[in-house]
Structure 1
Amino acid sequence: MKSYVTSESIRSFIVFGLVGILNTGVDVAVFTLLTWWQLPWLAAQAVSYGCGVLNSFLMNRKWTFRQQGALTKGLLRFILLNLLTLGVTSACMMLLHEQFEISLWLSKGAATLLGVLLNFAGSRWWVFREEPSHRNETASWGN
């Protein structure tokens, strides 16, 4: 039976978490600055989230999942995943802040936690997953 919990997957999870903390810091810092400058919160959310996304892709690609080679496929998947997450987190903020009148910062915190869960799942199993090589599939076919 193949074990999915390896020292490498634990290392990846820890590094993903550390990168996520940094990305969240970038997101919150930019969001704070933009809302302080009176930019509407939804526009500030889009810009700050985009800054965190760019940082996230570059750091996760290099350090968390250690990918090399062409950026195009992974970047396209990462952008799609994060556009989906941006939509979900913005809708969450809108619901919590404007419909339930929860403070902007609590709404931002809840949306950020939801975004972390969506991004980890999507990054791990779609964006940065290792593509099986045809040689390995052929070699293990008879096993």
Structure 2
Amino acid sequence: MPIELPLDDQEASTDVPLTTQLVRFVVTGAGSGVLDYGITYLLQFVFGLPPWLSKAFGFLCGTTTAYLINRRWTFRAEPSRARFVAVALLYLVTFGVQVGIYTALSHAWEDTFIYSLMAYVVAQGTATVINFAVQRAVIFKIR
């Protein structure tokens, strides 16, 4: 079974209003995004790793954190192997989208903090829209 994250003791339910889900998704995403970008920046600019590898590590840490919190708190869904596999596939797609956009913009723009941050925001924003739409419409409807 996937890892549990006990954020509250209320029974899980997918009957959470869209507004509540959206707010929780944004809050969770913001925290996970800070983790993702912090790791990406640290690895790229402090340790000198290439942008694609730095973003890959940041993405893995951020999305793992986001999934654990979103499953339990945002969408209030029970653990499910099928859902876990579906999320892994979705994250594989958004991984390609994020790393691809970040790397392309990193090569197109000057290698500075502000351009790195802008590349991150564009890549993360694109993946966030994809993630929310697919998770709400498909993944957290899986039993």
Q: Same fold (TM over 0.5)?
A: yes
TM-score bucket (shorter structure)? 0.7 to 0.9
Equivalent in the alignment of 2:11 = none
**AA of the residue aligned to 2:116:** L
Q: Is the 8 A contact 2:28 2:66 kept in 1?
A: yes
Measure, in 2, the Cα distance between the counterparts of 1:69 and 1:96.
37
- Uncovered stretches (5+) of structure 2, i.e. residues with no partner: 1-14
Q: Is the 8 A contact 2:83 2:142 kept in 1?
A: no
Distance change in 2, residues 1:49/1:7 (3 Å): closer
2:50 corresponds, among 40, 49, 73, to 40
Normalised to the residue count of structure 2, the TM-score between the two structures is: 0.78
User: Bigger CA drift: 26-35 or 122-131?
Assistant: 122-131
Pair 1:107 & 2:119 matched: yes
Equivalent in the alignment of 2:5 = none
Indicate the percent of aligned positions where both proteins have the same amino acid. Answer: 24
Instruction: State the secondary structure of the residue aligned to 1:38.
Output: coil
Equivalent in the alignment of 1:3 = none
Deviation at 1:106, TM superposition (A): 1.5
**AA of the residue aligned to 1:57:** Y
- Uncovered stretches (5+) of structure 1, i.e. residues with no partner: 1-5, 132-143
How large is the Cα RMSD of the aligned pairs?
1.8
Q: Is the 8 A contact 2:98 2:127 kept in 1?
A: yes
| Aligned positions, number | 124
Deviation at 1:130, TM superposition (A): 5.2
**AA of the residue aligned to 1:37:** F
Larger of the two Rg values belongs to structure: 1
Normalised to the residue count of structure 1, the TM-score between the two structures is: 0.78
